[in-house]
Chain A
Amino acid sequence: MPADLLFEIGCEEIPAKMLARALVELPDLVGKRLDDRRLARGAVTVHGTPRRLAVIVAGLAERQPDIHEEVVGPPASAAFGPDGAPTKAGLGFAAKNGVDPAALQKKEVAGKKGLYAVATRNVVGEDTRTILPQLLADVAGAIAWPKSQRWGWGETRYVRPVQWLVALFGGEVVPVAWAGLHAGRATRGHRFLSPGQIQLAAPAGYVEALAAAKVLVDPAARAARVRDELARLERETGLRVRPDEALLAEVIHLGEYPVGVCGSFDPAYLEVPEEIIVTAMRTHQRYFAMETPGGVLANRFATMMATTVADPAVVRAGNERVLAARLADARFFVAEDRKASFDAWNARLDSVVFQAKLGDGARTIGHKVRRIARVVGELAAHVPGADPAVVAAAAASCKADLASKAVGEFPELQGVMGRHYARDFGLADAIARAIDEHWWPKGQGGALPSTDAGAILAIADRMDTAAGMFAVGLEPSGNADPFGIRRAAIGIWLILLDRGWSGLWPIALDRARAALADQGVASAAAADKLEKFFRDRLRGIFVDQGIPGPDADAVLAQDFRDPVDALARARAIGKVPPAAREVFKRTANILDDARTKHKLAIRDTVDPALFAADNTVEQRLFDGVTAARAREAAARAGRDYAAVFESLVQLQPTIAAFFDKGGVMVMDPDPALRDNRLALLHWFLAPYMAIADFRLLVSPS
């Protein structure tokens, strides 16, 4: 009878982010191993809290299925000697399959000539109970923790010391031995609310037994409870909890039984920029900020305890005192910062290393700021409406706040504090905003710069990073991207697309390289790699936007440097149906072959006098293309690629007729006819090939 399997690893508090990762990883770790061992099973469910990871496998078979199979070995002539006894090869084959050499047979095998040695394997399936102890120990050891440790005298590595193991197959304990422990049926409840052991009879009822012991072992149930508790605090205060999904995801894994508490702080602290209050609460204390229904930050916070306590007021008061100290520190930082100046901070940036490998003339953040400042002026000149004075002023101080005390304490507020301090120091609002926005987008899906100045700075900064890092061999490899160059490149493309800036990318790259060169950084050697890197990032963006990979490849192969145009071409090409793609691809291939295989030069001009007199396909194609050119002229000028392709699709029957039965032979023995036909095809196709490389447009199956 199949039975359920439960495996629980109890340990000391797992860091929230690592727990989240392990919960994703665990089902496969278990499922694949069971499948590899041919154990039939139902679904794998994972549970986890800071103090435990658990998997439940529904309906796991009691044993492996038996194997009865015939294995085909070497030809009989090789496996048996003239005397009919197995040769060395025959004996080896028998041993490999665990059969008696005397039991080898000579047989005909379907699809092969002659006789072959055949072994009949009969393997009795192993009992699940004998497989599980090692399999589960392997699972426990295979969880990929980003950081792991040893403890006591032990050699085992795990995220934190392991405290207990539960392994039950149906009602039976699976004798797993791992990390110096032996599995049993005893789990533990909440550390404080239900100390002591809980004996589990079987995997069924695991979740309920722990719920009774104040452990919400299902992360979804804990998430629901956290949301409910936050909603309760909202009702009780008449305020709203500021949505913060990342914080929520962490808080869910900070306790086994979350209970909400609401606290407050001295409203006098609200004079501090609110981002710093919210960040202090979030990063140091994992508090949720609260706001009025109108969206104004309130002097309240919401937090989750990991337990229930006698009097929540005690816990509230404790948290309020901690926060008061944090906010006092934050106010101190801001007050100190306001006594400083951008000039003083900028001077300090000359001794802050950005990247040592760039060399003595280019290594500091001060150097980087000067490069950015040089580049943005030239970019602004290409953006009508951008105020060069604003761009220049913002560039000069875009990194100044990195030297401030507030950003030293809260690095994630870089730019935000720059914006506040720029206003404090009397700079124009447009400058302040550009300083902030030059860090945008912050992370995947983050908002893009809303002003031209911010966007120009953001592009110049990122291009400098990408070109500089590639120049000194620090490009990303594999999944590793310690300098965030992928993010930088993606950011540039997203900004260019968002603002519709067609021609800026080559200028930004060229000027960034020139600015690096002025500081002694040569980047020419890495230029090709860098361009390919940028092209690949743009392809990724297109695919993310739902454009099929071949369509993206086809348009980017022709030109990727103008992302706006490339995106328009990629979207339009989706309108070309598969049959049309095939025929245009065929045309392109014929031209390719003519050039490469037959070494023919293809003429630019078509001579209608050479068209076959007895066949109208050439004349029809010539007329069709002539008409298409006329009707596409406006669409081409306006980059309305959809209209161009609609026009092209109308030519499909004409070009198909050219190749089909009743058409003409392109590679005619008469060189004059042949060259003219190639010229006709080339004249037809070339303008469309400039939009997308049809050779890459595999029709979607």
Chain B
Amino acid sequence: MHLQDLIFTLQRFWADHGCVVEQPVDVEVGAGTFHPATFLRVLGPEPWNAAFAQFCRRPSDGRYGENPNRAGAYYQFQVGLKPSPLHVQELYLDSLRAIGLDPGVHDIRFVEDDWESPTLGAWGLGWEVWCDGMEVTQYTYFQQAGGIDLMPVTCELTYGVERLAMYLQNVDSMYDLKWDKHVTYGQLRKPWEYEYATYHFEELRPELAFAAFDTYEGECRRLIARTAGGKPAPLVLPAYEFCMKASHAFNSLDARGAISVTERQRFIGRVRAMAKACAETYVAARARLGFPLLPPHLQAQAVAAYDAAAADGVNAGALAAARAVAPYAEEIAHAS
């Protein structure tokens, strides 16, 4: 199975199971979880099912294209199911069958691996899924994002595209993967890996990246605090985009070795503060919009519950809105 066919198959599979096939976010991110389709959509009471491939940049993992398994950028295929269905493990195993990994042939296991993102103020419980001892998927039940308790809970499945493809194509280096009939992964990706490793490790100008971080952070705060006519009028999505960009600036500085151990925690805290502000502002904005992804007849009661509880904070409001509509879970499932 060619790498692009793997992506097609997963997209088709999850589209058939009710997922919106989103497209990658056009900003540098370290993981699919940063995609607004995950980080923001997991918040609040609205249902949401989405799948997408995401190009992820991890500057510290760059190896100049010389390591067969590790690279400064790679692809994740991410699925978010909100609320997490009770049979999601079975669905997931079916998706493995769809790409040709049969549990009758392979040793498939769910091995504890709890997930935490200090920069996103997010955590969840779950597993890494092993296929014959190789981690092929990160499987997480999100409990918190941006410091906000999640209800309903989203199940996030993150397939490691290269690893799965290496397995299916039986090759030992990701650069030997066949992208399609004609082109290899190495032909597409190796020059990028070499140039970006060189850039991040040798050429990146820390003063520039530090300044960029400060600018992004300032812009994020400004857009969150924006008012119009004396009333709050935040621009959440642009604000969150600057949070993503700041996070990448931090990752780049980290790879460059420009951030000391003590500074590191401080930078992570700054990104987390941005993510938290975006998350809270996003939930409030969705409430003002009437939680539009809920079935129309449930929107008013969710908003009323949110408004009644929001004096105690966005977290309380989000939980109240979810609890107000939780008894109608079946109707919500039908509508979505």
Contact = CB atoms under 8 A, between A and B. Distances in A.
A86 B50 CA distance: 72
A314 B68 contact: no
Contacts of B110: 12-13, 50
Contacts of A18: 112
Interface stretch (B7-15, B84-92, B269-277, B295-303): B84-92
Contact of A311 (B105, B125, B151, B262): B105
Interface in A339-362: 351-353
Nearest to A152: B83
Contact of B86 (A15, A152, A305, A352): A152
A483 interface: no
Interface stretch (A23-31, A123-131, A318-326, A457-465): A318-326
Nearest to A323: B133
Contact of B167 (A148, A254, A318): A318
A650 interface: no
Interface string B63-89: 000011110000000000001111001
A452 B125 CA distance: 46
B60 to A, nearest CB: 12
Contact of B261 (A150, A151, A328, A353): A353
A12 to B, nearest CB: 6
Given A153-B152, A314-B132, A305 B107 contact: yes
B322 A192 contact: no
Interface string B109-151: 1111010000000001101000111100000010100000001
Nearest to B105: A310
Contacts of A310: 104-105
A150 B108 contact: no
A12 B87 CA distance: 10
Which one of A310, A315, A321, A323 has the highest number of Cβ atoms from chain B below 10 Å of its Cβ? A321
Contact of B68 (A163, A325, A353): A325
A192 B103 contact: yes
Contacts of A148: 125
Interface residues of B, number: 41
A665 B112 CA distance: 75
A597 interface: no
Contacts of A160: 125, 141
A161 B86 contact: yes
Given A12-B89, A149-B143, A325-B68, A352 B261 contact: yes
B195 interface: no
B125 A318 contact: no
B125 A147 contact: yes
Nearest to A192: B103
A191 B261 CA distance: 45
Contacts of B322: 153
A309 B108 CA distance: 10
Interface string A246-270: 0000000011000001000000000
Nearest to A303: B133
A151 B107 contact: no
Contacts of A619: none
Given A160-B125, A307-B103, A309-B104, A318 B131 contact: yes
Contacts of A255: 109
Contacts of A261: 107
A315 to B, nearest CB: 5
Given A153-B83, A161-B141, A324-B172, A315 B106 contact: yes
Given A152-B329, A323-B133, A306 B109 contact: yes
Contacts of A163: 86
A197 interface: no
B141 A149 contact: yes
B124 A149 contact: yes
A310 B261 CA distance: 50
Contact of B106 (A13, A150, A285, A318): A318
A16 interface: yes
A353 B262 contact: yes
Contacts of B85: 152
A291 B137 CA distance: 32
A502 B151 CA distance: 61
Contact of A192 (B108, B167, B172, B262): B108
Interface in B235-292: 260-262
Given A161-B86, A323-B133, A309 B105 contact: yes
A321 B172 contact: yes
Interface in A1-52: 12-13, 15-16, 18, 50
Nearest to B149: A150
A317 B67 CA distance: 20
Given A16-B112, A153-B322, A161-B141, A318 B134 contact: yes
B83 A321 contact: no
A351 B89 CA distance: 44
A319 B132 contact: yes
A254 B69 contact: no
B37 interface: no
Contact of B107 (A153, A287, A315): A315
Nearest to B125: A149
B321 interface: no
Contacts of A254: 109, 111
Contacts of B111: 13, 254, 286
A152 B152 contact: yes
B115 to A, nearest CB: 11
Nearest to B82: A152
A285 B133 contact: yes
B53 interface: no
A315 B261 contact: no
B107 A309 contact: yes
B125 A152 contact: no
Contact of B134 (A192, A321, A328, A353): A321
A113 B151 CA distance: 64
A353 B264 CA distance: 12
Interface in A151-194: 151-154, 159-161, 163, 191-192
A18 B114 CA distance: 13
B141 A315 contact: no
B153 A150 contact: yes
Contacts of B86: 151-152, 161, 163
A280 to B, nearest CB: 12
Contacts of A317: 132
B304 interface: no
10 contacts: A147-B114, A150-B141, A152-B83, A254-B109, A309-B107, A318-B133, A319-B133, A322-B134, A332-B67, A353-B262
Interface of B: 67-70, 83-86, 89, 103-112, 114, 124-125, 127, 131-134, 141, 143, 151-153, 155, 167, 172, 260-262, 322, 326, 329
Interface of A: 12-13, 15-16, 18, 50, 147-154, 159-161, 163, 191-192, 254-255, 261, 285-287, 303, 305-307, 309-311, 314-315, 317-319, 321-325, 328-329, 332, 351-353
Given A329-B67, A353-B261, 17 more contacts: A12-B110, A13-B111, A13-B112, A147-B114, A150-B153, A151-B84, A152-B83, A153-B83, A153-B152, A154-B153, A160-B125, A161-B84, A163-B86, A254-B111, A255-B109, A314-B132, A318-B132
The 8 closest A-B pairs by CB, nearest first: A318-B132, A15-B112, A13-B110, A319-B133, A305-B107, A149-B125, A322-B134, A153-B326
